[in-house]
Amino acid sequence: MPREPQSGAVKLVGAGPGAADLLTLRALRAVEGAQALLYDALISEEVLALAPAGCLKIQTGKRAGRASMRQETINRLMLRLARRGLNVVRLKGGDPSVFGRVGEEVAFLAGHGIATEVVPGVTAACAAAAQFNFPLTHRGQARRAVFTTARLEAGTLQADWSAAADPQATLAIYMGGGAAEELGARLVAAGRAASTPALAVENAGSPWARLTRGTVGDLGRLVEGAKGGPVLLVVGEVAALASDGAVGEALDQALSA
């Protein structure tokens, strides 16, 4: 009788903010050895090109605010491919453990006897800080960094922003572009000064990243020029140390030349 194929494994890999040279060596090796690659919508073509020619590539389309493959469907797809004996790579933007649903996926696969490995990646807040020359923590200005999301339900923010009132906390808000104006109002209501420096970083870590500077009081204005890329909002005194938006402007000029 033919033997059942031995189950493969699933690696949940952080692709970082988009540039291939920001992949870790472990992430690079995982992608290069993948037999099946399930990748999020924001993964760059540069990174996808690192997969073997015969690799099965499936775009899962996970992107906030847009139609995407259901999480349950992604889970079942990973399971089915692993049961075929394939080396499966679930490729996520940024770091899998930062708003990447890695806990749900690991629990699902473990419950079905599939071995998993999580490979970390550079998350957007760290990429933005490095790219635009500001620290997330800084002696005398920021004693902690808080990573959060702007979760909307029925058009209303569903989070308690009182913890963000600490003047020595740097607040990195993922997926906050669509709620920036309300976020500013919530932060002021929670006790954060309207004059607190703030940034909007679109496409953090990529060559076409765009930085807009302002304050909590005009947080909504900071996202007005966004061109559809993922927006990270940064609130805190360290935001005043950031460079200007010359990176994005220089790229625009080069592309229009």
CATH of the domain at 196: 3.30.950.10
Q: Which segments in the chain show pLDDT lower than 50?
A: 1-3, 154-155, 245-257
255 found inside a domain: no
The beta strand positions in 109-249, using DSSP E, are 116-119, 144-149, 152-153, 156-157, 169-174, 197-202, 210-215, 231-235
The residue type of 170 is T
Residue 195 CB contacts under 8 Å (≥ 6 apart), including other chains: 215, 216, 217
Name the strand (E) or helix (H) holding 57. strand 56-59
pLDDT given for residue 244 in this prediction: 63
Task: Please state, rounded to an integer, the average pLDDT across all residues of the chain.
Answer: 88
189 found inside a domain: yes
Distance CA 114, CA 83 (A): 8
Q: Is the C-alpha dihedral spanning 190, 191, 195, 199 positive or negative?
A: negative
202 found inside a domain: yes
Q: What is the CATH number of the domain that holds 15?
A: 3.40.1010.10
pLDDT given for residue 216 in this prediction: 96
96 found inside a domain: yes
Nearest to 192 by CA among 229, 233, 223: 233
81 found inside a domain: yes
pLDDT given for residue 121 in this prediction: 97
Q: Is the C-alpha dihedral spanning 51, 57, 63, 66 positive or negative?
A: positive
Q: Which of 67, 102, 119 is the last residue of a domain?
A: 119
Which of 11, 21, 40, 244 is the catalytic position?
Answer: 40
Distance CA 111, CA 78 (A): 13
pLDDT given for residue 45 in this prediction: 94
Residue 245 and residue 135 in one domain: yes
Residue 27 CB contacts under 8 Å (≥ 6 apart), including other chains: 13, 14, 15, 16, 119, 121
What percent of the chain is predicted at pLDDT more than 90?
70
pLDDT given for residue 137 in this prediction: 96
22 neighbors 81 (Cβ within 8 angstroms): no
Distance CA 208, CA 24 (A): 21
**Between helices 71-83 and 102-111, what is the axis angle to 10°?**
40
Residue 128 and residue 243 in one domain: yes
pLDDT given for residue 253 in this prediction: 47
Which of 11, 62, 92, 95 is the catalytic position?
Answer: 62
Distance CA 70, CA 169 (A): 34
193 neighbors 218 (Cβ within 8 angstroms): no
Give the structural domain span for 97: 10-119
62 belongs to the catalytic site: yes
pLDDT given for residue 248 in this prediction: 45
11 belongs to the catalytic site: no
126 neighbors 238 (Cβ within 8 angstroms): no
Tens-digit pLDDT profile for residues 191-226: 999 999 999 999 999 888 999 999 999 999 999 988
